[in-house]
Structure 1
């Protein structure tokens, strides 16, 4: 009679990976499946959106002139000026001062023709995918912690999966090499194992980032702990307390938006998309965000606060911020994959697609093992 083998650390890790995976498989499948679809939400919506064509002219109208055209639609709160000619300006128009977010209007800067951004026929579908991803289509107070616990399990699965990816035998190139490729010429059981093992390895780093950042939406304690560890507030807005106007001038003495654009060009001397929020109330100021076209990430912006009289009250250059503040401000794009535009979105899409397949391939591995007949003693 053969002696029973000792219960090794690797066997324990394997059991943790197996039973946590089986127990959370359906939830993880739904969360990863919806996350895969949401990766290219904006791009898919744009495919079905009606294009607003900008025809060039001799000279662009001033932003003040464009605002006067839109005033009949409501209160204009901000404008986004594209870096390139031939693209529409985007104005945010509020129906009332209490409205948190305005409606986007696309405006031709040469002719002042405008079009209100229409709801997409896919809005309802993507909102359902969002609720599935965040709350499993349940009430948020119930679904959020369930998804949060599943995310913690997913993180553990990623770590244990990497440990199990390494061979039991002596680690060298000969034993590691099979883990880097899928042997499609083998039987389907081996192919299924390789799909789980190899693809999981390649996607692991992205899945870990998604899990670590995704928990910020699930648990307040995790968000507070993360803010404490990084020394920077996660989801803390654009940084620091609200800046109020110091200028002692009347409303008709305020600098023009053209002057604000000129100051912005001097302070942030590079080509890029510029978003300007207009003063609101007696103490309101101009708030500017500029995105440098030459940067790899389309989401990283430099901030500028300009007073009503033209004085620069605050200037924040993203690359000059401490690393902890930069990371804290990029939690959302790090989670969604939008941090480096289409390139990182594609990587995240593939990683999410792999993550969606892992509960399926893992279940098949377990079923195959269950079918094996125990060896006779």
Structure 2
């Protein structure tokens, strides 16, 4: 008589991994698939967009002159000056002061010729992918918690998957080595198992980061808990308290944008893309963000707030901020993979692609195990 196997911790972890994976498989497939597509959204849109070329001239026009060329289009609220020569300036133009976000205009700094970004069919497609990723195309009040719970399940699956990746016993290089590669010369069942086991292992750390950061959009309690643990506000503290003008001057005494650029160059003395938001209202100030070209991350910026009379009211150097503040301010790029530009996006794309395949390969592993082995007839 065969001795009944003891139901141990590993068997319990295996069952948790199996049944949670089967229960959430379709939702995780849709969320991961849409996340994979969204990784290179900007690059795909840019590839199909009509190119606005800039031919360098003898001398660039001032930002004020470029604004004058755009005044017929609406209210110019900001400008982004590229670090490289021969690139267009980007202006944000609003139809009214109440409009939250304006339209983007690309302007040739040598001729003042401009082109407004046009909507395309890709905008609708990517917005659908965004809604699928965040809310499963449902109402946000219904879809958001479903995606949130599925993300928690995905986090558990990632952790239990790593535990199951390790051999049951005799953990040494000889037993670990097979888990690092896919044996393509084997039968289909073994290849499918390796695709799930090995690829899941390589992608795991990125999937954990995506899950932990993704939950910030799903649950308020999670954001509050994360803010308390980190000692810095998640999402709520972006930009800090509003800074108002202290200058007692008339409109004709407000410093020019050229002077703002000069102050920015003095305070943030390095090459890089510079974005300047113009004062709005009587208490408005110049808000500047500058991205250092030499830095590995293209999304990390230093901030400067300059009053109408040229006084520097606030200066924030990203690297001087406490570590916890830096981490909480980078939640979104850590989730999307934009933290290190194209390099990290490519890594995240592969990780998301693997994550999309895991529910499929995992289901096949379960189906293969469910097939009963044929009984051997006794002679």
Mean Cα deviation higher: 119-128 or 307-316: 119-128
Q: State the Cα distance separating 1:239 from its structure 2 match.
A: 3.2
Q: Which residue of 2 aligns with 1:133?
A: 133
Could you tell me whether the CA contact under 8 Å between 1:80 and 1:89 is conserved in 2? yes
Taking the aligned partners of 2:371 and 2:307, their CA distance within structure 1 comes to 73
Q: Which residue of 2 aligns with 1:351?
A: 351
Partner secondary structure for residue 122 of structure 1: helix
Taking the aligned partners of 2:318 and 2:123, their CA distance within structure 1 comes to 32
> Following superposition of structure 1 onto structure 2, how do residues 153-172 of structure 1 map, counting pairs within 5 Å?
153-172=153-172
Q: Which residue of 1 aligns with 2:366?
A: 366
Q: Which residue of 1 aligns with 2:25?
A: 25
Point out where structure 2 has 5 or more consecutive residues left out of the alignment.
Answer: none
Q: Which residue of 2 aligns with 1:124?
A: 124
Could you tell me whether the CA contact under 8 Å between 1:48 and 1:120 is conserved in 2? no
Could you tell me whether the CA contact under 8 Å between 1:77 and 1:91 is conserved in 2? yes
Taking the aligned partners of 1:221 and 1:373, their CA distance within structure 2 comes to 48
Q: State the Cα distance separating 1:3 from its structure 2 match.
A: 1.5
Q: State the Cα distance separating 1:5 from its structure 2 match.
A: 1.3
Partner secondary structure for residue 258 of structure 2: helix
Q: State the Cα distance separating 1:372 from its structure 2 match.
A: 3.0
Q: Which residue of 1 aligns with 2:319?
A: 319
Q: State the Cα distance separating 1:238 from its structure 2 match.
A: 3.1
Mean Cα deviation higher: 226-235 or 142-151: 226-235
Aligned residues: 376
Could you tell me whether the CA contact under 8 Å between 1:244 and 1:284 is conserved in 2? yes
> Following superposition of structure 1 onto structure 2, how do residues 97-108 of structure 1 map, counting pairs within 5 Å?
97-108=97-108
> What CA deviation, in whole Å up to 9, does each residue of 1:159-200 have, x standing for no partner?
000000000121000000000000000000000000000000
Q: Which residue of 2 aligns with 1:273?
A: 273
Q: Which residue of 2 aligns with 1:342?
A: 342
Q: Which residue of 2 aligns with 1:239?
A: 239
**TM-score, length-normalised on structure 2?**
0.98
**TM-score, length-normalised on structure 1?**
0.98
Q: State the Cα distance separating 1:237 from its structure 2 match.
A: 4.7
Taking the aligned partners of 1:211 and 1:263, their CA distance within structure 2 comes to 41
Taking the aligned partners of 1:265 and 1:238, their CA distance within structure 2 comes to 24
Point out where structure 1 has 5 or more consecutive residues left out of the alignment.
Answer: none
Q: State the Cα distance separating 1:375 from its structure 2 match.
A: 7.8
Taking the aligned partners of 2:91 and 2:225, their CA distance within structure 1 comes to 38
Q: State the Cα distance separating 1:374 from its structure 2 match.
A: 8.6
Q: Which residue of 2 aligns with 1:60?
A: 60
> What CA deviation, in whole Å up to 9, does each residue of 1:282-324 have, x standing for no partner?
0100000000000011000000000000000000000000011
Taking the aligned partners of 2:210 and 2:240, their CA distance within structure 1 comes to 27
Q: State the Cα distance separating 1:6 from its structure 2 match.
A: 1.0
> Following superposition of structure 1 onto structure 2, how do residues 188-203 of structure 1 map, counting pairs within 5 Å?
188-203=188-203
Q: Which residue of 2 aligns with 1:225?
A: 225
Q: State the Cα distance separating 1:345 from its structure 2 match.
A: 0.3
Could you tell me whether the CA contact under 8 Å between 1:203 and 1:354 is conserved in 2? yes
**Structure 1 residue 185 corresponds to structure 2 residue 188:** no
> What CA deviation, in whole Å up to 9, does each residue of 1:260-279 have, x standing for no partner?
00000000000000000000
Q: State the Cα distance separating 1:354 from its structure 2 match.
A: 0.3
Mean Cα deviation higher: 179-188 or 120-129: 120-129
Partner secondary structure for residue 284 of structure 1: coil
Taking the aligned partners of 1:345 and 1:265, their CA distance within structure 2 comes to 30
Q: State the Cα distance separating 1:149 from its structure 2 match.
A: 0.3
Q: State the Cα distance separating 1:120 from its structure 2 match.
A: 2.4
> What CA deviation, in whole Å up to 9, does each residue of 1:322-353 have, x standing for no partner?
01110111000000001100000000000000
CA RMSD of aligned residues (A): 1.0
Could you tell me whether the CA contact under 8 Å between 1:28 and 1:154 is conserved in 2? yes
Taking the aligned partners of 1:260 and 1:235, their CA distance within structure 2 comes to 28
Taking the aligned partners of 2:298 and 2:355, their CA distance within structure 1 comes to 26
Q: State the Cα distance separating 1:119 from its structure 2 match.
A: 1.0
**Structure 1 residue 305 corresponds to structure 2 residue 326:** no
